């Protein structure tokens, strides 16, 4: 696969080297086109800084970061604080901002904006002032503004943090669909129940990579039977499906798969009864 980012011994600081301490140290990571990567870690571990570095918004102060410049040009990011990203006065103005930059004909914009709003499940009028939206609705608005451009690379920083369960599921489905259509997604999260959406987990601890592997290995470790895992070592709890599976394994039941998502657990358990 085509590498989009290749970090070699990269140190990353938030601002110019002279006024900011290094946040990420000696990162060695390669992320390829088409990957869906979950970036996890406790508060302050450096998830947002990594996304900023990938988006070109943070300083690489040591080592190197090689990027596929042509692909990266279209990258779209949704960061944690939606208020800092909303640029339009109304919903329509905000979502269409990226289209204006791409010189999309004005006549095409209403349909594209409508589709993006429907896709993220934000049911508000186009002329609604953006400042009237709730925190979660603003998060969905930013997501609509990111996907309306048809971007092939999405950087999402805890995009479901402010969402109710239905909106959270809807946004996860959107990400899944975009990924199936080839979009590269880097998704920072603290919600262990969404780690299984990704094909790869990068866990950060104190600015360093503490784990890089599949969601299954993150939740079950290398042995699979013991109730310990990189997930627990990093201070997180197993999501429901993993907790149940660990208990079934501890009870001696022969699970053929290692579920990470609830829907995977729902397939594994009936197989035990056959």
Residues of this chain that interact with ligand ATP (CB under 6 A) are 14, 23, 41, 43-49
d(Cα 74, Cα 55) in Å, to the nearest integer?
A: 10
Q: Long-range pairs for 257-266 at CB < 8 Å and ≥24 separation?
A: 258/216, 258/219, 258/220, 258/224, 260/195, 260/196, 260/215, 260/216, 260/219, 261/193, 261/196, 261/197, 262/193, 264/196, 265/240, 265/241
CA distances from 207 to 48, 197, 224 (A): 11, 24, 27
CB 177 to ligand ATP: min, Å: 26
- Host H or E run for residue 18: none
CB 210 to ligand ATP: min, Å: 12
Decide whether 46 or 196 has the Cβ nearer to ligand ATP: 46
CB 203 to ligand ATP: min, Å: 11
- Host H or E run for residue 212: strand 208-213
Decide whether 23 or 148 has the Cβ nearer to ligand ATP: 23
CB 73 to ligand ATP: min, Å: 24
Decide whether 34 or 63 has the Cβ nearer to ligand ATP: 63
CB 239 to ligand ATP: min, Å: 18
In 3D, which of 125, 127, 128, 163 has the Cα closest to residue 143? 163
d(Cα 39, Cα 59) in Å, to the nearest integer?
A: 19
CB 41 to ligand ATP: min, Å: 5
């Amino acid at each position: 696969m085509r590498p989009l980012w290749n970090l070699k011994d990269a140190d990353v600081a938030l601002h110019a080297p002279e006024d900011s301490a290094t946040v990420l140290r000696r990162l060695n990571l390669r992320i390829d086109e088409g990957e869906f990567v979950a970036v996890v870690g406790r508060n302050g571990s450096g998830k947002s800084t990594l996304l900023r570095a990938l988006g070109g918004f943070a300083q690489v102060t040591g080592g190197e970061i090689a990027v596929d410049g042509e692909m990266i040009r279209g990258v779209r990011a949704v960061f944690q604080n939606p208020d800092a990203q909303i640029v339009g006065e109304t919903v329509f103005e905000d979502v269409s901002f990226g289209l204006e930059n791409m010189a999309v004909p004005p006549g095409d914009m209403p349909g594209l904006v409508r589709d993006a709003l429907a896709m993220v499940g934000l049911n508000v009028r186009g002329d609604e002032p953006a400042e009237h939206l709730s925190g979660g609705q603003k998060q969905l608005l930013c997501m609509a503004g990111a996907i309306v451009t048809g971007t092939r690379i999405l950087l999402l920083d805890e995009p479901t943090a402010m969402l109710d369960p239905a909106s959270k599921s809807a946004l996860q489905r959107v990400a899944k669909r975009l990924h199936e259509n080839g979009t590269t997604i880097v998704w920072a999260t603290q919600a262990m129940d969404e780690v299984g959406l990704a094909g790869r987990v990068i866990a950060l601890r104190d600015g360093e990579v503490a784990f890089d592997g599949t969601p299954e290995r993150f939740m079950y470790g290398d042995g699979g039977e013991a109730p310990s895992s990189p997930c627990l070592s990093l201070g997180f709890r197993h999501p429901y499906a993993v907790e149940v599976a660990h208990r079934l394994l501890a009870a001696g039941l022969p699970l053929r798969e290692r579920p990470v998502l609830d829907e995977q657990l729902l397939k594994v358990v009936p197989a035990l009864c056959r």
